[in-house]
Chain A
Amino acid sequence: MIHLAGPYLLAAALVGLGVFGVTVRRNAVLLLVGVELVLSGALVLLVTTQAAGADRWAAGSVLPLFVITIAAAETVVALAIILTAFRQRSRVDLDEPSRAAP
């Protein structure tokens, strides 16, 4: 027997922490830490539906695998963009004003 309030609270707390991290960070690489926390909150919710016995086609186990893979692909592309931007302007500050168009 397990009470479902625990997983729901954990998912809400993780998403809240992730949103806080995305908003407060100025370092572009550390923005991804917040995104990972939001996604892990979603994972907890998906697995909870399976533990409650409310899923069909084992979706509670399969969809988290999809989310993890897509998150890995997203991180790879985001880091490539951040590294290219760092080579162009040698800073990863998100608050930096964009350069005026020539």
Chain B
Amino acid sequence: MTALDTAFAATGLVAVAGGLLAVTTRHVVHAALWLVVALLGVAGSLLVLGAELVALVLVLVYVGAVVVLVLFALMLTRAPIGPDLEHAVGPWRTVGAALLGGAVAVLLGSVLLPLAGDPVERSDVTSTQVAGRLFGTWVWPFELLSLLLLVALVAALAVSRIPREEVPS
């Protein structure tokens, strides 16, 4: 166990604990807030792995924008304060979902763990190198992303302008 392993274990535990609470809590607003904890744990893990640019973008975009959007959507759909009893699921659904999630995790783990092998020296890619590649090799996909964001913006506006359908009585 090196210092990096210990730091990764700590941040990974934060991420898994936050994720577990985010998917199991009955309070809808708490679910979004626990997602913040999980994503901060993931960002810490990425920092330990040496990708500080990705960690910062994760915090800025996911925690700063996506979770705030989810919170706004929860408020606009009149999420209850306190436990959400309207959307409670039965025990069989919970057991089935837990079995499915556990099976996926075990399957992925059993495929990935044999690839781990011996400890490796962490290779550091500096932000300067990433920037050079981003605006060199990856410049066309990067420009396409801005087009994708524009299309998503226009699509969101167009969808939200659909008039309310008259309910036949």
User: Chain B interface mostly helix, strand, loop or mixed?
Assistant: helix
B121's partner among A53, A62, A73 (CB-CB below 8 A) is A53
Name A78-102 residues within 8 Å CB distance of B.
79-84, 86-88, 92-93, 102
Write out the residue numbers on chain A whose beta carbons fall within 8 Å of the beta carbon of B4.
1-2
Name B1-48 residues within 8 Å CB distance of A.
2, 4-5, 8-9, 12, 15-16, 19-20, 22-23, 28, 31-32, 35, 38-39, 42, 45-46, 48
Binding site for A on B (CB under 8 A): 2, 4-5, 8-9, 12, 15-16, 19-20, 22-23, 28, 31-32, 35, 38-39, 42, 45-46, 48-51, 53-54, 57-58, 61-62, 65-66, 69-70, 73-74, 76-77, 79, 84, 86-89, 93-94, 96-98, 100-102, 104-106, 108-109, 112-113, 115-117, 119-123, 125, 129-130, 132-134, 137-138, 141-142, 145, 148-149, 151-153, 155-157, 159-160, 162, 164-165, 168
